[in-house]
Amino acid sequence: MIATSSRRVVITGAGLITPLGNTLQPFWESLINGQSGIVPMTLVPPGVLPTSVAAECQDFTGHIDDFGELDKDQKRAIRKGTKMMCREIQMGVAAAQRALASAGLRSGEYDPEQTGAVFGSDYILTVPGEFADAINHCVGDDQTFDFSRWADDGLPHVTPLWLLKYLPNMPASHVAIYNDLRGPNNSITMREASANLAIGEAYCMIARGAADAIVAGATGTRVHPMRTIHVALQEQLTAEAEDPAAASRPFDLDRTGMVVGEGAAAVVLEELETARRRGVPILGEVIGHASSTVMDRQGVGHRGLAISNVIKQACRCADIEPDAIGHVHAHGIATTQGDVEEARGLRDAFTRVPPVVAAKSYFGNLGAGSGMVELIASTLAFQHGRLFRVLNYQKPDPECPIDVVTNTDVDPGETFININTTPQGQASAVVVRKWTG
What is the tens place of the pLDDT at every residue in 172-206? 999 999 999 999 999 999 999 999 999 999 999 99
The answer as to whether 141 is a domain residue is no
Handedness of CA 187, 189, 191, 196 (dihedral sign): negative
Residue 1 has pLDDT above 50, yes or no: no
Express each pLDDT in 35-87 by its tens digit.
999 999 998 887 788 888 999 999 999 999 999 999 999 999 999 999 999 99
- Length of the chain, in residues: 437
> 157-194: buried (b, 16+ CB within 10 Å) or exposed (e) per residue?
eeeeeeebbbebbbbbbbbbebbebebbbbbbbbbbbb
Residue 424 located in a structural domain:
yes
Average confidence (pLDDT) over 217-245: 90
| Residues 267 and 407 sit within 8 Å (Cβ to Cβ) | no
Predicted pLDDT at 29: 98
pLDDT value of residue 5: 62
**Residue 134 falls within a domain, yes or no?**
no
pLDDT value of residue 3? 47
276, 102 in Cβ contact below 8 A?
no
278-326 pLDDT tens trace: 999 999 999 999 999 999 998 899 999 999 999 999 999 999 999 999 9
Inside any domain, residue 152: no
pLDDT of 240 over the 80 cut: no
Any idea what the CATH number is for the domain that residue 364 is in?
A: 3.40.47.10
Residue 210: inside a domain, yes or no?
yes
What does the pLDDT read at residue 435? 96
Average pLDDT, the chain: 95
SS3 content of the chain, % helix, strand, coil (to 5): 40, 20, 40
Q: Residue 291 pairs with which residues in a beta bridge?
A: 428
Q: Percentage of the chain with pLDDT > 70? A: 99
Q: How would residue 404 be classed by pLDDT, with cut points 50, 70 and 90? A: very high
The tens digit of pLDDT for each residue in 348-372 reads 999 999 999 999 999 999 999 999 9
Domain total for the chain? 1
When comparing pLDDT for 350 and 225, which is higher?
Answer: 350
Per-residue burial over 127-147, b if 16 or more Cβ lie within 10 Å, else e, is eeeebeebeebbeeeeeeeee
Structural domain includes residue 408:
yes
Stretch 263-276: mean pLDDT: 97
> Quick check: is 330 in a domain?
yes
What number is the average pLDDT over the span 136-156? 95
Contact 258, 235 (CB under 8 A): yes
